[in-house]
Chains A and B, each alone.
Chain A
Amino acid sequence: GENVEQHPSTLSVQEGDSAVIKCTYSDSASNYFPWYKQELGKRPQLIIDIRSNVGEKKDQRIAVTLNKTAKHFSLHITETQPEDSAVYFCAAANNNDMRFGAGTRLTVKP
């Protein structure tokens, strides 16, 4: 089955700096790669996603890149703000079969 690895497990940045979170996956059949943001005690919220036919996608301060050959994808947050502090999960899915990374706790220091 699919195995998703996520790094780093914790990340602390200064407000205004960029943050990068990286994930690798094992199943070459995976075709959908979402990123979720989860604040303490709340539901995961989809913040951006990318499909296997696209190499990069951007939405304001958030971007995701995908390298299907190497089986890795990354989340980039620019101009970080304190409200970006949360746990971020990557996931890889082969249609309805979605597996999550272990999560990255991002802290943005004001």
Chain B
Amino acid sequence: GAVVSQHPSWVICKSGTSVKIECRSLDFQATTMFWYRQFPKQSLMLMATSNEGSKATYEQGVEKDKFLINHASLTLSTLTVTSAHPEDSSFYICSAGGGINYEQYFGPGTRLTVT
């Protein structure tokens, strides 16, 4: 399968600050990237879908002004958590997709802890 990297793997930040997470598709051009959030022992919850060069489509209940997504190229998407609060602490995972078969390949995830 495709190789997807994510950076950083973990981050601790103070409440009120912003954090940027990068997702890179290393060996194929991902026309679509997805951002998920996963709480401990729970499933993956889709936050937003982004297509290269266009605005992201956010799921209901996800604040687009708080979770800024940019998909500037076929290999890079970023998620910025703005004005982070402790309740934003979670495991954030991106995936790359958009191929003709619609498979998604996941990044290793970023564990965000907001203190």
Residues of A within 8 A of B (CB): 32, 34, 36, 41-46, 49, 89, 93, 95-103
- Beyond A96-B32, A98-B46, A99-B46, whether A43 also contacts B106 by CB under 8 A is yes
Interface of A is mostly: strand
Whole-angstrom CA separation of A36 from B32 in the bound complex = 19
User: Are A43 and B93 in touch, CB under 8 angstroms?
Assistant: yes
Contact code string B51-83 (vs A, CB < 8 Å = 1, else 0): 000000000000000000000000000000000
Closest to B106 in A: A43
Q: How far is the CB of A87 from chain B (nearest CB, A)?
A: 8
Whole-angstrom CA separation of A98 from B96 in the bound complex = 12
Q: How far is the CB of A89 from chain B (nearest CB, A)?
A: 6
Would you give 10 A-B contacts (Cβ < 8 Å), ordered by A?
A34-B103, A41-B111, A44-B44, A49-B103, A89-B44, A96-B32, A96-B98, A100-B43, A102-B42, A102-B43
Whole-angstrom CA separation of A41 from B41 in the bound complex = 10
Which one of A41, A43, A97, A101 contacts B43 once the chains associate, using CB atoms below 8 Å?
A: A101
User: Which of A36, A43, A49, A102 is the most central at the interface, judged by chain B CB atoms within 10 Å of its CB?
Assistant: A43
Residues facing A in B20-66 (CB within 8 A) are 32, 34, 42-44, 46, 49
Whole-angstrom CA separation of A66 from B44 in the bound complex = 22
User: Are A93 and B102 in touch, CB under 8 angstroms?
Assistant: yes
User: Are B43 and A32 in touch, CB under 8 angstroms?
Assistant: no
- Beyond A95-B102, A96-B32, whether A44 also contacts B42 by CB under 8 A is no
Whole-angstrom CA separation of A45 from B105 in the bound complex = 8
Which one of B98, B102, B106 contacts A44 once the chains associate, using CB atoms below 8 Å?
A: B106
Which one of A32, A36, A42, A89 contacts B102 once the chains associate, using CB atoms below 8 Å?
A: A32
Provide the residues of chain A in CB contact with B32, threshold 8 Å.
Answer: 96
Provide the residues of chain B in CB contact with A32, threshold 8 Å.
Answer: 101-103
Provide the residues of chain B in CB contact with A93, threshold 8 Å.
Answer: 102
User: Are A100 and B109 in touch, CB under 8 angstroms?
Assistant: no
Whole-angstrom CA separation of A99 from B108 in the bound complex = 19
Q: How far is the CB of A18 from chain B (nearest CB, A)?
A: 24
User: Are A43 and B46 in touch, CB under 8 angstroms?
Assistant: no
